[in-house]
Amino acid sequence: MLGYYFNLALRSFRRDKALTALMVLAIALGIGACMTTLTVFHVLSGDPIPTKSDRLFYVQLDAAEMNDYTPGEEPDEQLTRYDSETLLREKRGLRQAMMTGGSVSVTPEREGLPPFLSDARYTSADFFPMFEVPLLYGNGWSAAQDEQHARVAVISKELNERVFGGGNSVGKQLRLDQTDFTVVGVVDEWRPTPRFYDMNSDRYGELENVFLPFTTSRDLDMGRNGSMNCWGDTQGDATGPNAPCSWIQYWVELESAGKAGEFRDYLVNYSDQQRAAGRFKRPTNVRLRNAMELLDYARVVPNDVVMQLWLGFGFLLVCLVNTIGLLLAKFLRRGSEIGVRRALGASRGAIFTQCLVEAGTVGLAGGILGLGLSLLGLWGVRQQPASYAELAHLDVGMLLLTFVLAVVASILAGLLPAWRAMQVTPAIQLKSQ
């Protein structure tokens, strides 16, 4: 029966080409605007590591002095080097990693390739298994190499191709900041969105090209970047082991999400001990957020993207209101036809279903055209200078959602016109003929 109604809808389209074109265009414009903004929002608000986001936790401790203290305020978003190294040494989680961003000078051995600067990440050995970093060649370094302050490096696939011409470069030497490092691993294509492990840098930027042991980076006094908050006397070295400065991100992976309470208690006890020792001045104030909670706290989706999303849905609603009016005009203009069908035995439910099938067919056609408009809109987004712009692509899930949304929206728009159409009285229509 639905196939028969679909055939009737196609015949109706051929009879009222102009009106049908207007409805399809209205649906397409609304779907195009809505799916463009929804796709951008989807890309920026997704789970960057769905396999374990509920088991990865970001640690915050309040190690600052009492100056400008406000009860109940958020502790600093980063840890001091002393606290980070202490927590790392005590190993209370399944895995843990301390890290900060930096920049290094790369001196290639390839002829004709001059030295250049590259973004770097100074971290500890668990970084790679904790964040499920895919490795094309080799492995990350070990905890023992952390302790030995080893001159080892993991590099990105991009840097590997640029410096070594691709291929397996494990075991080769790479000169960084005038010091030779041994390449132990090459990272495959990897770009978590957002780059949640460091919310203090470009959240949608590309992967760092060089990964080095944190201990080694400090031995060589390598350049770092990112925010830093200091209090008291730093004695000239803000990155020293005992400097009163917070500048390190600290993550812990727990065996299960249920272990969070136990680990939080550990952080509270640690904070109490540090206050008793005179290091912490403020009342105990810790935070332990999993990956998605951290993204919510950091408001990772830009406000302009959220506003554009609401505008997109608002525009779709306006288009649906127009579609309702056009469907009403179309269905009520066919009152005599509907009256004849009722007189021949068609039920009100059959008329209602026929009209909804016709509305859904309009939505399907609008979805096809709307898909093209969405792709055009996303192309326009990618031309913007925003760091997240190049990520605006329609995946399979959003592609299917385009058609589902178009059909559902058109059926909803057709409810009132279909209800009005099924109220047509056969006797009145037949008398008017």
Residue 43 vs residue 331, higher pLDDT:
43
Predicted confidence at residue 181, as pLDDT, reads 97
Distance, CA of 77 to CA of 249 (rounded, Å): 8
Mean pLDDT of 21-32: 90
Q: Is the pLDDT of residue 162 over 90?
A: yes
Hey, where are the domains in the chain?
Answer: 2-48+302-431, 63-284
Predicted confidence at residue 2, as pLDDT, reads 61
Mean pLDDT of 256-277: 94
The sign of the CA dihedral 312, 313, 317, 323 is positive
Give the model confidence (pLDDT) of 86-108 as tens digits.
999 999 999 999 999 999 999 99
Distance, CA of 343 to CA of 219 (rounded, Å): 92
Q: What's the half-sphere exposure (Cβ side, CA atoms, 13 Å) at 158?
A: 10
3-state SS, residue 362: helix
Predicted confidence at residue 356, as pLDDT, reads 81
Predicted confidence at residue 398, as pLDDT, reads 87
211-232: burial string, b at 16+ Cβ within 10 Å, e else: bbbbbbbbebebebeeebeebe
Tokens for 133, please give them: 């970093």
DSSP string, 95-137: EEEEEEEEEEEEE--STT---EEEEEEEE-TTHHHHTT--EEE
Task: Judge contact between 87 and 270, C-beta under 8 A.
Answer: yes
Phi, psi of 162 (to 5 degrees): -70, -40
Distance, CA of 224 to CA of 217 (rounded, Å): 9
Phi, psi of 223 (to 5 degrees): -65, 140
pTM of the model: 0.80
Give the model confidence (pLDDT) of 410-429 as tens digits.
888 888 887 877 776 654 54
Give how far Cα 139 sits from Cα of 128, 133, 135, 184, Å: 8, 10, 7, 6
Give how far Cα 18 sits from Cα of 12, 21, 360, Å: 11, 5, 18
Predicted confidence at residue 187, as pLDDT, reads 96
Q: Is the pLDDT of residue 384 over 50?
A: yes
Mean pLDDT of 163-191: 93
CA-nearest of 297, 262, 259, 296 to 56 is 259
The pLDDT confidence band at residue 19, using thresholds 50, 70 and 90, is confident
CB atoms inside a 10 Å sphere around CB 425: 12
Q: Is the pLDDT of residue 140 over 50?
A: yes
CB atoms inside a 10 Å sphere around CB 74: 11
Q: Is the pLDDT of residue 43 over 70?
A: yes
The share of the chain scoring above pLDDT 90, in percent, equals 51
Distance, CA of 326 to CA of 103 (rounded, Å): 60
Predicted confidence at residue 58, as pLDDT, reads 97
Q: Is the pLDDT of residue 284 over 60?
A: yes
The owner of tokens 């706290």 is 297
Mean pLDDT of 241-246: 91
Mean pLDDT of 397-415: 89
Give the model confidence (pLDDT) of 71-91 as tens digits.
888 999 999 999 999 999 999
Q: Which DSSP symbol is given to 252?
A: E
Distance, CA of 330 to CA of 334 (rounded, Å): 7
Predicted confidence at residue 381, as pLDDT, reads 86
CB atoms inside a 10 Å sphere around CB 92: 15
